[in-house]
């Protein structure tokens, strides 16, 4: 949002006598929750959208006020993003391309110099104007909006992100190491959930649907000779 980057010069937290910036977050998953937490910590006016009402209720109980939640719809997205200084796209459907929630027309109607951070860019991005960028050249301006669409964003803080990933994956690695791999997969539903292909069979339903390929459940594939 800094002017030097083509932004509108808004300070998200505001200052005494000046209203804070408006942040709109699409998706109430892990990234959306943490984005909301950080933006509220800065003092921004934050609205978080999702189609999962139970998740919105939980976040409303946890953070409201000052967090505002809204059921996600095309109308709500268009209305809220038009007034936003910062939009964070954090929608994710595991194994599928990210849904295009922001049309080019919606981006065009955003405030000049507003910023769009498309965290979903690794899954194709949630805006029609999004295209992958790099850590060395992270920004571009399209339809008057500053876009940040860096692939593999966690790599910017590689030490912390690697430690977090290791913490999450180590229990599964230990389970595989403690038993023969095929036995572990057959006996452990959690491990089977991470199996994408087996002996030429595609075992991820979302990937199979996107690519138009045959699908077999991991359990049935593992039973095949």
Average pLDDT of every residue of the chain = 94
Residues 6+ apart with CB under 8 A from 153: 119
Cα separation, 9 vs 17, whole angstroms: 16
Please give the residue that has the higher pLDDT: either 102 or 224.
102
pLDDT for position 72: 97
pLDDT at 224 over 80: no
pLDDT for position 71: 98
Every domain of the chain and the residues it spans: 3-151, 157-223
β-pairing, 197-198 vs 201-202, is antiparallel
pLDDT for position 206: 86
Query: Binning pLDDT at 50, 70 and 90, where does residue 83 land?
Result: very high
pTM, two decimals, is 0.89
Cα separation, 138 vs 67, whole angstroms: 29
Contact assessment for residue 96 and residue 71, using Cβ atoms and an 8 Å cutoff? no
Q: Find the distance separating the first CA and the last CA of the chain, reported in whole Å.
A: 57
pLDDT for position 15: 94
Contact assessment for residue 21 and residue 14, using Cβ atoms and an 8 Å cutoff? yes
Lowest pLDDT segment from 23-37, 149-163, 184-198: 184-198
Lowest pLDDT segment from 5-9, 23-27, 83-87, 172-176: 172-176
Answer yes or no: CATH 3.40.50.720 is held by domain 3-151.
yes
Residues 92-138: tens digit of each pLDDT:
888 788 999 999 999 999 999 999 999 999 999 999 999 999 999 99
What angle is formed at CA 180 by the lines to CA 176 and CA 181, rounded to 5 degrees?
Answer: 55
pLDDT at 225 over 80: no
């Amino acid at each position: 949002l800094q002017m030097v980057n083509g932004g509108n010069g808004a300070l998200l937290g505001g200052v005494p006598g000046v209203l804070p910036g408006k942040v709109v977050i699409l998706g109430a998953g892990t990234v959306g929750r943490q984005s909301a937490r950080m933006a509220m910590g800065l003092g921004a006016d934050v609205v978080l959208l999702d189609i999962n009402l139970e998740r919105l209720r939980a976040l409303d109980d946890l953070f409201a006020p000052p967090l505002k939640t809204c059921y996600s719809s095309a109308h709500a997205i268009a209305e809220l993003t038009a007034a936003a200084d910062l939009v964070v796209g954090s929608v994710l459907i595991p194994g599928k391309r990210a849904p295009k929630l922001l049309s080019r027309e919606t981006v065009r109607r955003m405030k000049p110099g507003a910023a769009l951070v498309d965290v979903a860019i690794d899954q194709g991005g949630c805006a029609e104007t999004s295209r992958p960028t790099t850590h060395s050249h992270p920004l571009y301006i399209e339809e008057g909006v500053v876009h940040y669409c860096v692939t593999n964003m966690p790599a910017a803080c590689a030490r912390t992100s690697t430690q977090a990933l290791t913490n999450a994956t180590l229990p599964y690695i230990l389970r595989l190491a403690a038993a023969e791999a095929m036995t572990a997969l057959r006996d452990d539903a959690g491990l089977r959930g991470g199996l994408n292909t087996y002996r030429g069979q595609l075992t991820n339903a979302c990937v199979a649907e996107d690519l138009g390929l045959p699908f077999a459940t991991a359990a049935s594939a593992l039973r095949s000779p």
